[in-house]
Structure 1
Amino acid sequence: MTARLASRMTLSYILLATFVGGLLSVLIAASLTVALLGRLVRHLVSLSTGVLLATALLHVLPEAFERQASPHALFMTLLGGLMFFFLLEKAELYRHTHHHEGDGHHHHHHFDAEQAGRGGLSVLVGDSIHNFCDGLIIAAAFLADQHLGWVTAAAIIAHEIPQEVGDYIVLLNAGFSRGKALLFNALSGLAAVAGGLLGYFVVGPWESLFPYLLVLASSSFIYVAVADLIPQLQRRLPWRETAAQLFWLAAGMGFIVLVLGSSH
């Protein structure tokens, strides 16, 4: 395979992964009722927590540390990445919406209407920036290694589905029509494609940066899982719901372990 053909295939993989991630979440939101989506989101949050943690700690970070970069520099990058995403979320530009009225989070009535009404543009802009960052991460992973790219894309898609479904529910509760909410979600998802393209053309020539970009990807996964998803799971629940949480967490981790085992 020539270098040019390999480069074109990598670009096509990046575009496919980023496009499917945004499209899949919109299709799921369009095909299910709001009540069913609300029940589905709870399980998907547990599943994506397991997938994100296992991908970051068992696959992406080890891959970065195997590339002969300074461990101290990589850990500094990990710390800087965690702080970066913390500050980005503080600025409400890296939002993770998985709640809806009646989800047991005890928000006051019309909480979602306020979220999507008063701060509707903020939600959509923040979601677009989030998706753009995801596109950059997917591009960096594919440029480092094709298999790593697919695993990373799968982890991001696993998180994007509950996030986009959550955004969709928020917009519906705020009074958006079904078509309008789906359209805004779809446009926001296209930001991932833009991020993937930029990552391919800008990051591609700088192979020495790949270990640090992989660590930044891991910091994103770890931050989302620890700062956003796990706190949502830390509520007193009946034992059946707790068992379901543990099952989906284990399923997410087990999926990544199986993928790793088959790749080796």
Structure 2
Amino acid sequence: MFSESGLPIVVLVVYCIAVVVASLAGGGITQRLQITHNGMQHIISLVGGVMLGTAVFHLLPHALHDIGRTVQLDNVMLAVMAGIVVMFAMLRLFHHHHHGEEQVFQQPAEDGSKHEHGHDHAHSHVHEHGHAHEHDHTHGREHGRRAGRYSWLGVLAGLTIHTLIDGVTLAAAVRMDAGHPGRTSLLFGFGAFLAVFLHKPLDAISVTSMMAAGGKSVRARRVANLVFALACPLGAGLCYAGLSVGGGATVAYLLAFSAGVFLCIALSDLLPEMEFHSHDRFSLSAMLMLGLLAAWMLRFLEGDLHP
């Protein structure tokens, strides 16, 4: 039905459409479902395992495939480190990687009702400290509301760049697999696709939840979600067109960079939960292992890496 040269493009288009649909579905979840913190952490553990496994079992081996011929090991490892550092800088700059429900909908403490000491001070005609105490809390609440109104802009900017990189990853993975005769044609780059596909709804939840906390309308949330979702096919298209000009070494270094990005994303999701929470250790670890196992098993579905 499709020519051999055109099949990778068809596969990439299907992947991009699926990712956009996943993003839009993730944004709709916040309007229809109430996901608990515990449920979200189990989802994050599963998806984190898939991303971690994809980086180690798929992207990095692909990048290392032509070592000694067109690709240098030192350059591959530099690309991996560049991916880690770039994503780390984005997390620092935009502070956007929040998937927990409580992080975006947390309400400020009602000091007047829970802290009788502060309440007494506020109504005392003798203690001026109480008035200042009440003023500080009021000022803090107002500052928090103002910050919430605009913090979604940083979230949207960071995740849009992140989604562009996801598109680059998909294009590079499909391009690499298409260049190896031993790969199953309908599964070009499937490991990278699965990781992006599963993680994108979580990113959409971050965007729409932060916008909801900032008082944005449902229509505005949908438009923003669509804009950031379309960054994936944009990145994929630009990358695939560029790779038509560049050589195989460019693909390898892009995959190495993407491996670093995936490592940083996965660990930024997994490590905070392990450090700050002690609940459901067994089930969360089981979900992580299930994600890793899924990424490992995809190796056998895709076929042998070496022609």
Q: Give the TM-score range, shorter chain.
A: 0.7 to 0.9
Determine which of 168, 175, 179 is the counterpart of 2:215: 175
Unmatched 5+ stretches in structure 2: 110-140, 179-186
1:144 maps onto 2:165 in alignment: no
For residues 58-90 of structure 1, give each alpha carbon's deviation from its aligned partner in whole angstroms, at most 9, with x where no partner exists.
121112112222222211221222222222333
Task: Say if 1:97 and 1:167, in contact at 8 Å, map to a contact too.
Answer: no
Query: What is aligned with 1:249?
Result: 288
Mean alpha-carbon deviation: is it higher for 173-182 or for 243-252?
173-182
2:76 aligned with 1:74, yes or no? yes
1:124-164: CA deviation from partner (whole Å, max 9, x where unpaired): 12221111111111111111115451110111122212121
Distance 1:152 1:115, change over 3 A: farther
Counterpart amino acid of 2:97? H
Q: How does 1:74-223 map to 2 (within 5 A)?
A: 74-92=76-94, 95-101=96-102, 116-146=148-178, 147=187, 149-206=189-246, 207-223=248-264
Structure-2 residue corresponding to 1:54: 53
Q: Does 1:18 align with 2:57?
A: no
Look at both structures and tell me which one has the larger radius of gyration over its CA atoms: 2
Greater mean alpha carbon deviation, residues 207-216 or residues 75-84: 75-84
- 1:261 partner letter: F
Alpha-carbon shift at residue 51 of structure 1 (Å): 0.5
**Per the alignment, do residues 167 and 120 of structure 1 end up closer, same or farther by CA in structure 2, a change over 3 Å counting?**
closer
Q: Give the secondary structure class of the aligned counterpart of 1:75.
A: helix
- What's the CA shift for 1:46? 0.5
SS at match of 1:254: helix
| CA deviation vs aligned residue, 1:167-216 (integer Å, no higher than 9, x gap) | 22222222223343233112210011110110111123212211111101
SS of the counterpart of 1:36? coil
2:271 counterpart residue number:
230
Alpha-carbon distance in structure 2 between the residues aligned to 1:154 and 1:213: 18
One-letter identity of the residue aligned with 2:25: L
Within 1, Cα distance between the matches of 2:51 and 2:107? 27
TM-score by length of 2: 0.74
Offset at residue 220 of structure 1 (A): 0.5
Unaligned runs of 5+ in 1: none
How far apart, in 1, do the equivalents of 2:102 and 2:24 lie? 20
User: CA–CA distance in 2 between the matches of 1:86 and 1:144?
Assistant: 26
The aligned length equals 258
- Pair 37,171 (structure 1): closer, same or farther in 2 beyond 3 Å: farther
Aligned residue identity for 1:249: L
